[in-house]
Amino acid sequence: MARIAGVDIPSEKRVEIALTYIKGIGRSLSNKILKEVEISPDARVKNLTEGEISRIKEALEKGGYRLEGELTQEVALNIKRLRDIGSYRGIRHEKGLPVRGQRTRTNARTRKGRKIAVGGTSRAALKAMAARKT
């Protein structure tokens, strides 16, 4: 297993796909990097030489791409900034609701989490409420 940018990339996969296991690298950036270092996207990671792996590492360092921890930190700081200035998007992040205008009456379970059952009230609770009202 090759280790690039602190991530073990799977050795059985094609290099083009294996690089996408690094946070911040998608298919297009993966292909761009491989074209730059002149490695076939169809090659398997297990067939790469140490020299080819080091060329990929150098290309990532020279490119100045934000990857893994640095990218995660930047995203967290952006969300914190939105919360601090009190913008609409920041408030939605705080409440754990969809940020980009999706409906919330239904279909917001990814952001809102599991449904919370609102149970019926017991007879004892109803009697206590009635006693307070009178």
Identity at 128, one-letter amino acid code: A
Q: How many domains is the chain built from? A: 2
- On whether both 131 and 83 belong to a single domain, the answer is yes
- On whether both 92 and 50 belong to a single domain, the answer is no
> The CATH number of the domain where 55 resides is what?
1.10.8.50
| Banded pLDDT at 2 (limits 50, 70, 90) | confident
Q: What is the pLDDT of residue 16?
A: 94
- On whether both 17 and 32 belong to a single domain, the answer is yes
- The kind and range of the H/E element at 78 are helix 68-85
- On whether both 76 and 127 belong to a single domain, the answer is yes
Is the predicted pLDDT of residue 121 greater than 80, yes or no? no
- pTM value > 0.75: no
Kindly report, residue by residue over 20-72, the tens digit of the pLDDT: 999 999 999 999 999 999 999 999 999 999 999 999 999 999 988 999 889 99
Q: CB 35: neighbour CB atoms within 10 A?
A: 12
- On whether both 60 and 85 belong to a single domain, the answer is no
- On whether both 33 and 52 belong to a single domain, the answer is yes
| Banded pLDDT at 80 (limits 50, 70, 90) | very high
- On whether both 110 and 92 belong to a single domain, the answer is yes
Return the CA Rg of the chain.
Answer: 25
Q: What is the pLDDT of residue 125?
A: 77
- On whether both 73 and 57 belong to a single domain, the answer is no
By residue range, what is the domain housing residue 39? 2-64
- On whether both 79 and 133 belong to a single domain, the answer is yes
Say how far apart CA 46 and CA 1 lie, in whole Å: 7
Tokens 């009697």 belong to which residue?
127
Give the phi and the psi of residue 122 in degrees, each rounded to 5: -80, 165
> The CATH number of the domain where 130 resides is what?
4.10.910.10
- On whether both 74 and 52 belong to a single domain, the answer is no
- On whether both 13 and 42 belong to a single domain, the answer is yes
- On whether both 74 and 113 belong to a single domain, the answer is yes
For 94-130, give one letter per residue: b (16+ CB within 10 A) or e. Answer: eeeeebeeeeeeeeeeeeeeeeeeeeeeeeeeeeeee
Question: Would you say 75 and 99 are in contact if contact means Cβ atoms under 8 Å apart?
Answer: no
